Structure 1
């Protein structure tokens, strides 16, 4: 997996998200059908991971399209945390037992090509919605993450970037061990 720079600005986030989408799409398209479906609900297959990423990205694109006056404002006036801070918080939550639940639990029913296209569409929609935001608004408004709680919009985007990298890395490691 390519090591991405740690983005800060809206433009850097857009670039990093596009690069990540390209890497994920390219990798999952190259898998054989057997590799793509190897797994179960307990031990996720690559198809499960990809569907989970689609389920995770889609609500973010919707949230980014909500009028700002209907979004929560961040309290406390603190600066948004960095990519590394968000990554570390998420890793701690996983180590503490956090797992996908509810609408984020994958159940991939479509074929490989369809799942890849659905993912590409969901991540492209995040970037399209992000294009209408200013850097200041990324820090001013908040969204609620199901595990990490309230995050600035910038922090949610940093989480999304890491989350995609995390799952891509997990799939690669799992298939290398097989």
Structure 2
């Protein structure tokens, strides 16, 4: 994918997640069945995940040399997706800095604004990179190891999609929300 395609992919992944969470009641935004992360916590997690990507995109490239240079071509979006899924299947979980606290209803609007702000930053910062630089520089990922900048952008888009699908599936459980909440409480 070229830069423009990556921008579109990122825009879509952030916008679709945001649009879906906008459809949830405050109750569904902050409460989750069976001890899973709520929609608010998942949004917070995605914000926490996007911030270091934006930090890396905004750094002078000289500093990124600290992480080494990529020796090959970047993997494709599908390869990054499949690698991430494999890590999750083997028990990979979010590391401490990316684990969100409990979310309250009054945090909903600020979280939504911060989420879209991270998207806007990412798209603007991406403009400062050439196609070649996206494949040359790499950054560390807590579960996937070193990724090229292009790969970390693919990961970010897929990561948003992964959490969106999780929330969408939760809503398709064909159980009234009250029943799910009751199981959580009792």
Q: TM-score, normalised by structure 1?
A: 0.90
Counterpart Cα distance in 1 of 2:28 and 2:147: 35
RMSD value over aligned CA atoms?
A: 1.5
1:4 is matched with which residue? Answer: none
Gaps (5+ residues) in structure 1? 1-7
Q: Is structure 2 residue 107 aligned with structure 1 residue 111? A: yes
Q: Which has the higher helix share?
A: 2
Q: How many residues align?
A: 170
- Does 1:74 find its partner at 2:98? no
SS of the aligned residue for 2:80 comes to helix
Matching of residue 14 in structure 1 with residue 7 in structure 2 = yes
Residue of structure 2 in register with 1:58 after alignment? 51
Higher mean C-alpha deviation, range 89-98 or range 13-22: 13-22
Who wins on radius of gyration, i.e. which is larger? 2
| Pairwise CA distance, 1:176 | 1.6
State whether residues 49 and 98 of structure 2, in contact with CA within 8 Å, keep that contact through their aligned partners in structure 1.
yes
SS in 1 for 2:43: helix
Spell out structure 1 runs of 4+ moving beyond 3 A: none
- C-alpha separation in 2, matches of 1:101 and 1:30: 29
Q: Counterparts of 2:95 and 2:171 in 1: how far apart (Å)?
A: 24
Conservation of the 8 A alpha-carbon contact between 2:21 and 2:29? yes
**Greater CA drift, 66-75 or 98-107:** 66-75
Q: TM-score, normalised by structure 2?
A: 0.86
Q: Is the 8 A contact 2:70 2:135 kept in 1?
A: no
Unaligned runs of 5+ in 2: 176-186
**Equivalent residue runs for 1:23-172 within 5 Å:** 23-39=16-32, 42-72=35-65, 73-76=68-71, 78-107=72-101, 108-109=103-104, 110-172=106-168
